């Protein structure tokens, strides 16, 4: 989307699969026949299987708002979507862009386009109260909002789009539930994804709340069929309950797990944490596990600790600030979530340490003795290492 590379230059070549000995077919599967143990392709071909893996993924949700089929409306899920948008931007030269949904795809795109052309008038609309509401709590989300406004991006939080307006078959604006009309020549939608389930439902597989029901080894209700990724009913590591995972990271891990299961390994899938990161050029965000609000919604009694830290020792040039928020379950004292906001990009990957600590079932006390590698150019001074300090803060809150 930044126009730095062509689409074809960044795709994996098919040789990556064929070179590994995988037969590659480019076709659409129209039906799975579990009794006959075969799949039917759109070209008429039938392919027999002994074992079948379903990884159909998901598709972007186009909310059922009147006018959602007008020209100039885009989603972003694959390379062809990006290419279509780039072509529209270069040919139609829209000036006013509206983004529905303040998730990380919307925000990265909005910031990128605003930086590419400061003359773009960009508005982001979100039905919840602040940007990145599924990643962050209100106080950090509010800081993201302030950052976006400083970049010249208009926000309409706590707002729903009730109508998409058009002129001559193309989008011309949106109407909000407040009555406000925002004119635009391009509309981008980022409000979630829906699992692709048609062939699985038709095959009679048992469905869960968010996709194909699978056990901890990603096996479906049919002993010869496995499912993984966005089309499977994932569960959350912290809550143990179904969760609509739609991120590439867990999908890759699940893909490898499926292969290992078929080869005879017995490694269960631990559940997702929805660890994700977002880069808005001067502001970088990451989150994992449950936010404090999500923890409350799930019935936990959360306890949180927020620490301001630094990307380097204070004496090193270009030191930048970052903030860490950790969420604990007061009853078990276990770490259940984390959020990072950072001016520099490097601290953002500390979220992986948080994920590891959550998966390891680490508690408040464990975090107070968490020791990290340090170097003045890539970490704060050891006495200011934020994970341990957050543990100390939480420990004092427990005592009080």
Residues making contact with other proteins (CB under 8 A): 7-8, 10-14, 16-17, 20-29, 39, 41, 47-57, 78-80, 199, 228-231, 248-252, 254-256, 258-260, 262-263
Using DSSP, state whether 185 is helix, strand or coil.
Answer: coil
Closest approach of Cβ 246 to other proteins, in Å? 10
Residue 260 or residue 296: which is nearer to other proteins going by CB?
260
Place of tokens 């789009």: 161
Backbone phi, psi, residue 390, to 5°: -60, -40
Starting at the earlier edge strand, list the strands of the sheet with 276-279: 276-279, 284-289, 335-342, 321-329, 302-310
Residue 103 or residue 250: which is nearer to other proteins going by CB?
250
- Which tokens hold the place of 107? 């925000």
In order of 224, 226, 265, 376, the CA distances from 54 in angstroms are 11, 6, 19, 47
Closest approach of Cβ 9 to other proteins, in Å? 9
Closest approach of Cβ 23 to other proteins, in Å? 4
What would the DSSP string read from start to end of 242-291?
B-----HHHHHHHHHHHHHHHTT-------B---EEEE-SS-EEEEEE--
Closest approach of Cβ 113 to other proteins, in Å? 19
Residue 6 or residue 375: which is nearer to other proteins going by CB?
6
Residue 57 or residue 63: which is nearer to other proteins going by CB?
57
CA-closest candidate to residue 161, choices 191, 133, 135: 191
Closest approach of Cβ 71 to other proteins, in Å? 23
Residue 17 or residue 62: which is nearer to other proteins going by CB?
17
Residue 30 or residue 368: which is nearer to other proteins going by CB?
30
Closest approach of Cβ 360 to other proteins, in Å? 24
- Which tokens hold the place of 123? 């508005």
């Amino acid at each position: 989307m930044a126009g730095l590379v062509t689409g074809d230059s960044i795709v994996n070549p098919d040789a990556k699969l064929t070179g590994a000995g995988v037969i590659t077919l480019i076709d659409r599967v129209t039906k799975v026949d579990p009794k006959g143990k075969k799949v039917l392709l759109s070209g008429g071909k039938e392919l027999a299987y002994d074992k079948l893996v379903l990884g159909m993924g998901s598709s972007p949700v186009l909310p059922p708002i009147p006018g959602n089929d007008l020209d100039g409306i885009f989603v972003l899920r694959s390379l062809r979507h990006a290419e279509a948008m780039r072509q529209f931007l270069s040919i139609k030269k829209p000036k006013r862009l509206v983004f529905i949904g303040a998730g990380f795809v919307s925000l990265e795109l909005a910031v990128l386009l605003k930086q590419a052309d400061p003359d773009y008038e960009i508005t982001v609309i979100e039905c919840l109260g602040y940007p990145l509401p599924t990643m962050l709590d209100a106080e950090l989300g509010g800081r993201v909002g302030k950052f976006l406004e400083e970049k010249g991006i208009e926000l309409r939080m706590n707002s729903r789009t009730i109508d998409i307006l058009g002129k001559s078959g193309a989008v011309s604006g949106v109407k909000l539930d407040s009555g406000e009309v925002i004119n635009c020549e391009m509309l981008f939608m980022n409000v979630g994804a829906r699992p692709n389930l048609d062939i699985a439902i038709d095959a009679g597989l048992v469905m869960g709340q968010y996709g194909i029901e699978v056990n901890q080894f990603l096996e479906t209700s049919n002993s010869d069929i496995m499912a993984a990724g966005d089309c499977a009913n994932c569960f959350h590591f912290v809550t143990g309950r179904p969760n609509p995972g739609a991120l590439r990271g867990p999908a890759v891990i699940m893909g490898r797990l499926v292969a290992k299961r078929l080869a005879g390994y017995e490694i269960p899938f631990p559940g997702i944490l929805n660890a994700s990161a977002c880069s808005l050029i001067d502001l970088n965000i990451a989150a994992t596990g449950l936010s404090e609000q999500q923890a409350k919604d799930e019935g936990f009694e959360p306890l949180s600790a927020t620490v301001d830290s630094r990307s380097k020792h204070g004496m090193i040039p270009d030191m930048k600030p970052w903030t860490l928020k950790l969420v604990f379950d007061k009853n078990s004292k276990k770490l259940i979530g984390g959020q990072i906001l950072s001016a520099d990009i490097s601290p953002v990957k500390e979220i992986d340490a948080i994920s590891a600590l959550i998966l390891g079932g680490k508690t408040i006390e464990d975090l107070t003795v968490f020791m990290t590698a340090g170097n003045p150019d890539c970490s704060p001074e050891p006495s200011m290492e934020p994970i341990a300090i957050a543990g100390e803060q939480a420990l004092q809150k427990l005592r009080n």
